Amino acid sequence: MKRRKKKSLSSKEKKLEHISFIMDGNGRWAKKRLLPRTFGHKEGVKKAKEVILHAKAHKIPFVSLYTFSKENWKRPKDEVSFLMKLIIDHFKNDFQFYIDNQIRIVHIGDKNGIPSDVCNAIEEIEQNSKNFNSVTVLLVFNYSGQYDIAQALNKMLADKVSCTDEKEIRKYLLTSDYPDPDLIIRTSGEFRISNYFLYQAAYSEFYVTDTLWPDMSKTEIDKAIDSFYHRDRRFGGV
């Protein structure tokens, strides 16, 4: 009996256009060093900048960072307040980084419920970076996949558009202007999606590493990228 020859994917299908990160482990990184959790979050921001630049070096045009979920509001108030201030301070003090590297920031999430000063900081960097074109970073902040699908369906109902058409649903998602993630990397060894890009991740490849986010290295990212290019992406076919 002849063995069926595996169909090879075209270079277009294999292209890594959008790499996404579930950035987990800041608190555990700090705890291991007997430091407050806030130190881990500070290091996490530094790491995000390094990761964006590494994606740029790989000529990956879209990077998404799961920064703050809707469920994260359940964390201690002091920690949440620190994270909000960290966002404001980062965009205020590090804007030159985005200018120098022509990095565009786009917010993906629910602006309702975000403190006004944080919302203003996000809107300001979106506006000031809108013409930058080396890498587009999707700042996934105050987001959940369930919320994204629900808000899409609500808008469709208001517009009297059929909610059974998958292509139409996609047009109403918060990520409608951007490609779905090809590769989702989760740090800290947790095998769960945490309410992230539930619709968009239908055919994403996943890579889980035990590395905590502040320790994420270029070598580990390269291992994930190499893993992606060695996978057979059939998208439901054979």
Q: In the block, which residue shows the tokens 């890009």?
A: 197
Closest CA to 127 of 85, 86, 94, 98: 98
| 24 is a catalytic site residue | yes
Rounded distance between C-alpha atoms, residue 31 and residue 37, angstroms: 7
The secondary structure of the chain in percent helix, strand, coil, rounded to multiples of 5, reads 45, 15, 40
| 177 is a catalytic site residue | no
> Which residue in the list 72, 101, 128, 195 is annotated as catalytic?
72
Q: In the block, which residue shows the tokens 């980062």?
A: 90
Euclidean distance between the first and the last CA atom of the chain, given in angstroms as a whole number = 18
Catalytic residues: 24, 72
